[in-house]
Amino acid sequence: MERQTRSWVEQGMKGTLKKDQHTILLLQAETTQRVWADFSTVEQAMEELISYFEHSLKEKAPNKLTLKYQIADFNRYIDTTPDIGCLVFDHETKSYVPHDKTWIKKQVFTMLRGIVVNK
């Protein structure tokens, strides 16, 4: 199953985030595993995080052809992940600003809400 995504700009969402904010996603999905990935934008990082979540759903139900979930399911995934955060580059201060689970959930909610509204 392939998930199609469009950028917030394509969806008509003139969001609060700048287009070119280098973002590092830090994820510890299990106590023995830590991963990080960097992205050109916050949006790309959030899209990848949604992909991680969808992959975890596929692992739990490999025989299902389609995935159905609500934002509450995604939030539960974030809340039960041992450690997750983002570092977003701030051009004004020339430094990375850390963001927590609450911020991540807000970013994903805004992104998904924009997709639903613009369908």
Domain assignment present for residue 17? The answer is no
Domain assignment present for residue 8? The answer is no
Domain assignment present for residue 33? The answer is yes
Distance CA 58, CA 35 (A): 20
pLDDT of residue 115: 73
pTM for the full predicted model: 0.78
pLDDT digits (tens, 9 = 90+) for 4-46: 333 333 333 334 455 689 999 999 988 888 999 999 999 999 9
pLDDT of residue 71: 93
**For residues 86 and 98, is the Cβ–Cβ distance under 8 A?**
yes
CATH code of the domain containing 111: 3.30.2260.10
Distance CA 43, CA 66 (A): 24
What percentage of the chain reaches a pLDDT higher than 70? 81
**3-state SS string for the chain:** CCCCCCCCCCCCCCCCCCCCCCEEEEEEEECCEEEEEEECCHHHHHHHHHHHHHHHHHHHCCCCCCCCCCHHHHHHHHHHCCEEEEEEEECCCCEEEEECHHHHHHHHHHHHHHHHHCC
Domain assignment present for residue 54? The answer is yes
Domain count, the chain: 1
Domain assignment present for residue 11? The answer is no
pLDDT digits (tens, 9 = 90+) for 62-73: 998 898 999 999
Domain assignment present for residue 9? The answer is no
User: Does 55 have pLDDT greater than 70?
Assistant: yes
The Cα-based distances of 94 to 21, 38, 89 in angstroms read 11, 17, 7
pLDDT of residue 12: 35
User: Does 90 have pLDDT greater than 80?
Assistant: yes
Distance of CA 30 to the CA centre of its chain: 18
Domain assignment present for residue 6? The answer is no
Can you give the residue range of the structural domain that contains 50? Answer: 23-117
Domain assignment present for residue 10? The answer is no
pLDDT of residue 23: 98
